[in-house]
């Protein structure tokens, strides 16, 4: 930190107070949001934090001024948050910022509630974002000190109260979806995704909300997270709809966000029989799916299992491992289809009769040991799931395939459960 004189510190603090007061007085939400962006590390806020750590009597400037004192319940803890954040005391920074924004205090959220119009909506978005980011950083500090992380959970409770402030009538309600998305990020981080349900119900069933009136950015984020929830619930048609919406409406130049969406959309598409092009995997650095796709094309069960083993940690972290593991049935279907095609070339008349021992040999060639009973069980499941049309001739250990469409395509529908 460069040397700051007492006079220079006083000037910086007064300048900030004037800017804050003017932003509120003239309802300048664009200016106000930058004054609240604690974690942005903007040069102006960093220089203010340095000034606050030199000029220790800033609170007196606020309390003694009729101009600033009416905003004192916001400004005093906000100054404390700026100071402690600059000094890397993240726990104190979170607590102070929360107090400056507290729903139960006559602070920023209370002021926002009282303002007639939604002019400060962008500033409220910053408050919601900062609360989450500061809570995450504070929890990392708590964890490094051997203490249980608790701030992100508190941030979730705080954001639920903010959601309640926005879930009313009037123009402010368009901010509810942004706060919802911040809540999703909290719940996913904490592993408490079940808490998303109550917020989703409010958004999707409450008559006060019209989804189309929300900003496009927030709709894309909302569909991304609710699409991920549908993946966890194995509701693949709904997941496909939501994630496809997010992909279609995402900023085409934001490759990082597109990659995040595809990371979940690709397993969903694979589950309903739609394979991505190799260039797509290459462009968005999703090559962990390449061998999964190849295994489906070839009917190569060994390749699928190798891909799942190689990228197990990544797939488990994403929550798609079990989805990909269930692709085995489609791989078996493709293997049987390849055997059928080869038989049709040699003996078209008997091509629809697949001997179980031929399937056993094909699996053995893939270094997968199965006996006749195990193969018969797999084929029975394929028939039950409508991935194969046919029946067993048990005495001769033969699968008799339908002469019409023996291997139905999924056509964008999930495998029958």
**What digits encode the pLDDT tens for the residues 50-101?**
999 888 888 888 887 777 777 888 888 899 999 999 999 999 999 999 888 7
Instruction: Give domain status of residue 63, yes or no.
Output: yes
Q: How many angstroms separate the CA atoms of 292 and 307, rounded?
A: 6
Would you state the structure tokens that stand for residue 184, as one six-digit string? 């999703």
DSSP line for 3-57? ---HHHHHHHHHHHHHHHHHHHHTT-HHHHHHHT-GGG--HHHHHHHHHHHH-TT
Provide the token pair at 315: 């797939």
At 384, the pLDDT band (50, 70, 90 cuts) reads very high
Q: For residue 194, how far is the Cα from the chain centroid?
A: 14
- Based on the fold, state whether residues 180 and 34 are members of the same structural domain: yes
For residue 110, the model assigns a pLDDT of 76
Stated as kind and residue range, the H or E segment containing 164 is helix 151-166
What is the tens place of the pLDDT at every residue in 219-237? 999 999 999 999 999 999 9
Residues 21 and 148 in one domain: yes
Residues in CB range of 120: below 8 A, 6 or more apart? 27, 29, 32, 112
Domain boundary among 152, 173, 202: 202
411 within a domain of the structure (yes/no)? no
Map tokens 């893939």 to a residue: 366
Task: Specify if 11 maps to a domain.
Answer: yes
44 plus 184 within the same structural domain: yes
- Tell me what pLDDT residue 85 has: 93
Write down the pLDDT at residue 208.
66
Quick one: average pLDDT of 243-257? 96
For residue 58, being part of any structural domain is answered with yes
Which tokens belong to 299? 């009917």
Residue 400: pLDDT over 50: yes
Q: 């023996």: which residue's tokens?
A: 406
d(CA 124, CA 36): 9
pLDDT tens column, 113-138: 777 778 889 999 999 999 999 999 99
**Distance in Å from the first CA to the final CA of the chain:** 63
Instruction: Assign 106 a pLDDT band (cuts: 50, 70, 90).
Output: very low
What integer is the mean pLDDT of 31-47? 92
Q: Are 271 and 325 in contact (CB under 8 A)?
A: no
Q: Residue 105 — very low, low, confident or very high, per pLDDT cuts 50/70/90?
A: very low
Q: What integer is the mean pLDDT of 197-217?
A: 83
For the residues of 281-303, what is the DSSP string, one character each? HHHTT-GGGHHHHHHHHHT-HHH
* CA atoms of 6 and 210, how far apart (whole Å): 53
Percentage of the chain surpassing pLDDT 90?
Answer: 61
Residue 286 lies inside a defined structural domain of this protein: no
| Burial class of 199 by CB neighbour count within 10 A (0 to 12, 13 to 18, 19+) | buried
Instruction: Kindly state whether residues 184 and 307 are assigned to the same domain.
Output: no
Q: Which residues span the domain enclosing 355?
A: 303-401
Task: Report the pLDDT value the prediction gives residue 169, as an integer from 0 to 100.
Answer: 63
The last residue of one of the domains, among 202, 224, 250, is 202
Average pLDDT of every residue of the chain: 90
CA distance 87 to 71: 24
Angle at 164 between CA 120 and CA 40, to 5 degrees: 45
Q: Is residue 224 part of a domain?
A: no
Q: Answer positive or negative: Cα dihedral of 344, 345, 347, 348.
A: positive
Answer whether residue 120 is part of any domain. Answer: yes
Q: Is the pLDDT of residue 417 over 60?
A: no
Alpha carbon distance 354, 255 (integer Å): 47
d(CA 193, CA 229): 8
Confidence band of 171 (pLDDT split at 50, 70, 90): confident
Per-residue pLDDT tens digits for 286-332: 999 999 999 999 999 999 999 999 999 999 999 999 999 999 999 99
Looking at 158, 177, 202, the residue that finishes a domain is 202
Q: How many domains does the chain have?
A: 2
Lowest mean pLDDT, pick from 183-192, 204-213, 234-243: 204-213
Instruction: For the chain, give the percent of residues with pLDDT over 70.
Output: 96
pLDDT at 258 over 90: yes
Provide the token pair at 247.
């992909």
| Residues 175 and 324 grouped into a single domain | no
**Residue 68, H or E segment:** helix 66-69
In 3D space, the residue among 20, 17, 93, 105 whose CA is nearest the CA of residue 61 turns out to be 17
> Is 234 within a domain?
no
Range of lowest pLDDT (222-231, 267-276, 385-394, 404-413): 404-413
Q: pLDDT grade, residue 108 (50/70/90)?
A: confident
Q: What is the CATH number of the domain that holds 390?
A: 1.10.10.10
Write the DSSP string, 98-137.
Answer: HHHH-TTTTSHHHHHHHSSSSTTHHHHHHHHHHHHHHHHH
Query: Same domain, yes or no, for 184 and 314?
Result: no
Helix 151-166 with 90-101: angle, nearest 10 deg = 20
């Amino acid at each position: 930190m460069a040397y700051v004189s007492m006079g220079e510190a006083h000037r910086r603090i007064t300048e900030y107070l004037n800017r804050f007061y003017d932003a509120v007085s003239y309802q300048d939400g664009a200016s106000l949001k930058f004054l609240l962006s604690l974690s942005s590390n903007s040069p102006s806020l960093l220089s203010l934090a340095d000034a606050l750590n030199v000029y220790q009597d800033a609170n007196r400037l606020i309390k003694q001024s009729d101009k600033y004192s009416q905003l004192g319940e916001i400004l005093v803890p906000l100054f404390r948050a700026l100071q402690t954040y600059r000094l890397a005391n993240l726990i104190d920074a979170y607590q102070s910022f929360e107090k400056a924004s507290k729903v139960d205090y006559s602070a920023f959220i209370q002021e926002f509630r009282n303002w007639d119009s939604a002019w400060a909506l962008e500033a409220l978005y910053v408050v919601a974002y900062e609360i989450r980011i500061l809570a995450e950083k504070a929890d990392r500090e708590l964890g490094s000190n051997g203490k249980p992380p608790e701030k992100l959970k508190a941030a979730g409770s705080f954001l639920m109260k903010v959601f309640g402030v926005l879930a009313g009538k009037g123009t402010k309600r368009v901010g509810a979806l942004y706060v919802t998305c911040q809540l999703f990020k909290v719940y996913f981080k904490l592993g408490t995704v079940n808490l998303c349900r109550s917020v989703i119900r409010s958004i999707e069933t409450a008559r006060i909300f019209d989804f189309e009136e929300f900003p496009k950015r927030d709709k894309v984020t909302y569909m991304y997270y609710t699409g991920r929830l549908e993946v966890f619930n194995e509701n693949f048609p709904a997941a496909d709809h939501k994630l496809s919406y997010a992909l279609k409406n995402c900023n085409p130049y934001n490759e990082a966000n597109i990659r995040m969406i595809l990371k979940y959309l690709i397993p969903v598409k694979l589950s309903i029989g739609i394979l991505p092009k190799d260039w797509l995997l290459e462009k968005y650095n999703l090559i962990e799916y390449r061998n999964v796709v190849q295994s489906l094309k070839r009917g190569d069960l060994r390749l699928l299992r190798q891909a799942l083993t190689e990228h197990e940690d990544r797939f488990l972290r994403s929550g798609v491992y079990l989805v990909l593991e269930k692709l085995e049935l489609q791989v078996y279907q493709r293997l049987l289809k390849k055997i059928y095609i080869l038989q049709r070339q040699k003996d078209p008349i008997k091509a629809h009769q697949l001997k179980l021992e031929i399937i056993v040999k094909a699996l053995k060639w893939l270094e997968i040991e199965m006996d006749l009973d195990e193969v018969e069980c797999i084929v029975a499941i394929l028939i039950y799931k409508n991935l194969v049309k046919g029946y067993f001739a048990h005495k001769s250990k033969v699968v008799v395939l339908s002469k019409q469409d023996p291997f139905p395509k999924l056509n964008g529908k999930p495998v029958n459960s």
